[in-house]
Amino acid sequence: MVNVRDQKAKVIINADRDVYLQGSPDPRRAASELRAAVTGLALDPATSAAVRADVDEIEDGLAPGAPDPQRVARATERLTGTLERAGALATAGAALVTPLRTIGGWLGSVGESVLRMLPGA
């Protein structure tokens, strides 16, 4: 029996003994999508500044060659909480939830708290 833990692909096909992975998450692309989504939000100035700072922190933590999952997790959790309190997760929908879910999935067990905060979790 095989136990797949912390799945990081959208589709895993196991045929006999071979495993095929498709659609691995791209957290850097998700961070770019997240930046685009938060840019259009109608937030008060203080919340907007906090959101931008957290997205900056996520992108910095995803630096090519030296990603820092703990840093990304902290910033993503903080950002998700801020967006939730501002009501943005409910109003912006998939534009925010999809990239947050991708980043949370990439983080594996460290990102579970983020995934639990998202609508539909």
Q: pLDDT tens digits, residue range 14-64?
A: 555 555 455 567 999 999 999 999 998 999 999 999 999 999 999 999 999
Question: Which of 8, 99, 107 has the alpha carbon at shortest distance from 118?
Answer: 99
Residue 13: partners with Cβ closer than 8 Å, 6 or more residues away? 19, 20, 22
- Kindly report the pTM of this predicted structure: 0.79
2 within domain boundaries: no
Q: What is the pLDDT at residue 10?
A: 53
pLDDT of the residue at 1? 47
State mean pLDDT over 81-98: 94
Number of domains in the chain: 1
The answer to whether the CB of 34 falls within 8 A of the CB of 17 is no
The parent domain of residue 80 ranges over 26-117
Output the pLDDT for position 120: 79
Residue 48 inside a domain? The answer is yes
Band (pLDDT 50/70/90 cuts) for residue 117 is very high
Residue 18 lies in a domain: no
Residue 72 vs residues 21, 27, 80, 85, 110: alpha-carbon distances, Å: 24, 10, 12, 20, 10
Average pLDDT along the chain: 86
In a domain, 20, yes or no: no
DSSP designation for 9: S
- Distance from C-alpha of 73 to C-alpha of 103, rounded to nearest angstrom: 9
